[in-house]
Structure 1
Amino acid sequence: MTDVSPHELAIRMAEMARTMAQDRTLDTILTEVTSAAVELIPGVDTSGILLIKPRGGFESLAGTSDLPRDLDVLQMTFEEGPCVQAALADTIVRTDDFRIEQRWPQYSPAVQKLGVLSGLSFKLYTGDRTAGALNCFGFRPTTWDADAESIGSILAAHAASAIIATQQEQQLKAALLSRDRIGQAKGIIMERFGTDDVSAFGMLRHLSQEQNTKLVDIAQQVIDTRSN
């Protein structure tokens, strides 16, 4: 990786912004982000994205090689490391040399065995459901400068925006599906019991409260009775 001029950086960022405005998959956008990290940040040899789920588990996405996932596995196993710290706490976590890094006594020696000597992680503001980080690693000790942190922060913002947009799309689809199920269930109740729309919804809501079950799940149960 060679240094890029401000003009080249501006062009690359504009290209990524246009990509996000197009109908592209989340995987495609995140892959472009991690590839750009390797291309634009001097000292970065591989990059990936870690998403941590609130109820346990994680996803390792868009790695430019298999190494980022291996490093994510180590961090989740040891419950320590820069990516986890960036995802859950700090905005930027930097390690210029893992050989002298003291914050993660299990993780630091392990990554050296994999040939990684430096790292730079950026928190992804992905909303309430997930915590994430854009993670960059180098095979040599690297003194990360302000330019590296600035570029990484911009790339992390691109990645976070793509993740949030995908989450919102999924939530919208779920909401529409729920509305359709409730509508179907109301129609079944109206036909079966000769009630109006308001009364049918009231019956669904009463069953939901009585059984301490989500309204959409009660609606699905009603729909299922029609096919039995």
Structure 2
Amino acid sequence: MADPDASDFAEMALALHDEPDVEATLERIVEYAQHATACDDAGVMLLHGQGKIETAMVTDPRVGKADQFQVELREGPCVRSIESHSSFIVDDLSSDSRWPEWGPRAAELGLHSLLSVRLYTTGGTVGSLNLYANEPKAFDEDDLDVAEIFGRHASIALATAREESGLRQAISARHVVGLAQGILMERYGLDAERAFSLLRRYSRHNNIKLRVVAERIISTGRLPEEP
């Protein structure tokens, strides 16, 4: 397709923000990435706590395999994009001296050129958007400009989706704990504070998450027996 203009990016941004959860947002990101650039396949790698990097979404299993090689070797433009806060164009994966081990492995999968941009917000790095092509020299500076603009929209949408997902999980957990408190209050004649203290103490003593303890109480109607 022709290079997207401002209205195209606006429509993409709106569509990304309308997705209901993180997975749907990721699916739409790689779908739009294929339409916005000359790539044959795309993938998103996400950065988690303590520097853990994982492949979150791909359009083809070989992209996931190529990403796995990068994480194992700690070598490759997608990982490097996250670590160095840079963007990379690789004209020929089989011969680029920057990636002597990873590049030839990726080329064996039929991936011969790549464009990788960092996904980030003001809060920090989110991950990387990685665009692959079956032929060498598939990407140029115009593709890089498009990918970086799209990447900014994708970063904000993804960060928002992750935050909303975390909030939903937190609200759900509080609801479950509240139900368990009510059961303990009725069964053992406790007030709300003592019921919560009992939940927390059982959780700590048995090294079980508070939500898991609460779910067991809801399913059985009483506090699980001490091991």
Taking structure 1 as reference, are residues 24 and 222 closer, same or farther at Cα in structure 2, changes over 3 Å only? Answer: closer
- 1:33 paired with 2:29, answer yes
Could you tell me which residue of structure 1 aligns to residue 8 of structure 2?
Answer: 12
CA distance in 1, matches of 2:48, 2:108: 28
Task: Count how many residue pairs are aligned between Structure 1 and Structure 2.
Answer: 220
Query: Which residue of 2 is the match for residue 170 of structure 1?
Result: 165
Q: CA deviation at 1:212?
A: 4.5
> 2:18 matched to which residue of 1?
22
* Aligned residue in 1 for 2:148: 153
Distance in structure 1 (CA, Å) of the matches to 2:181 and 2:43: 47
Deviation at 1:26, TM superposition (A): 4.5
Distance 2:181 2:35 in 1: 55
Deviations 1:58-110 (A, max 9, x none): 335142x4542342243344442111222344332232333441122111122
Moved more, 23-32 or 12-21: 23-32
Contact 1:26–1:162 (Cα < 8 Å) also in 2: no
| d(CA) in 1 for partners of 2:5, 2:57 | 24
Alignment of 1:46-61 (within 5 A): 46-51=41-46, 58-61=54-57
2:140 matched residue in structure 1:
144
The equivalent of 1:116 in structure 2 is 111
Does the residue aligned with 2:140 lie in a helix, a strand or coil? coil
> For each residue in 1:189-211, what CA deviation from the matched residue of structure 2 results, as whole angstroms up to 9, or x when unmatched?
22122222222223323334444
- The answer to whether residue 97 in structure 2 is matched with residue 102 in structure 1 is yes
Structure 2 unaligned residues grouped into runs of 5+:
none
Matched residue type, 2:26: L
Closer, same or farther: CA 184–29 of 1 in aligned 2, 3 Å: closer
Q: Matched residues in 2 for 1:140 and 1:68: separation?
A: 16
Q: Summarize the alignment of residues 62-101 of structure 1 with structure 2, pairs less than 5 Å apart.
A: 62-63=58-59, 65-101=60-96
In 2: Cα distance, 1:197 partner to 1:121 partner: 52
> Which of 186, 201, 204 lines up with 2:199 in the alignment?
204
Contact 1:91/1:123 (8 A) holds in 2: yes
Q: TM-score, normalised by structure 2?
A: 0.76
Partner residue, 2:214: 219
Q: Is the 8 A contact 1:88 1:131 kept in 2?
A: no
Paired residue type of 1:92: S
Which of 169, 189, 192 aligns to 1:194? It is 189
Cα 1:223/1:124, change in 2 over 3 Å: same
- CA pair 75-206 structure 1, distance change in 2 beyond 3 A: closer
RMSD value, Cα: 3.3
* Secondary structure class of the residue paired with 2:221: helix
TM-score norm. by structure 1 comes to 0.76
Q: Tell whether the 8 Å contact from 1:51 to 1:133 is kept in structure 2 after alignment.
A: yes
Match of residue 39 from structure 2:
44
SS of structure 2 residue aligned to 1:98:
coil
Q: Is the 8 A contact 2:119 2:155 kept in 1?
A: yes
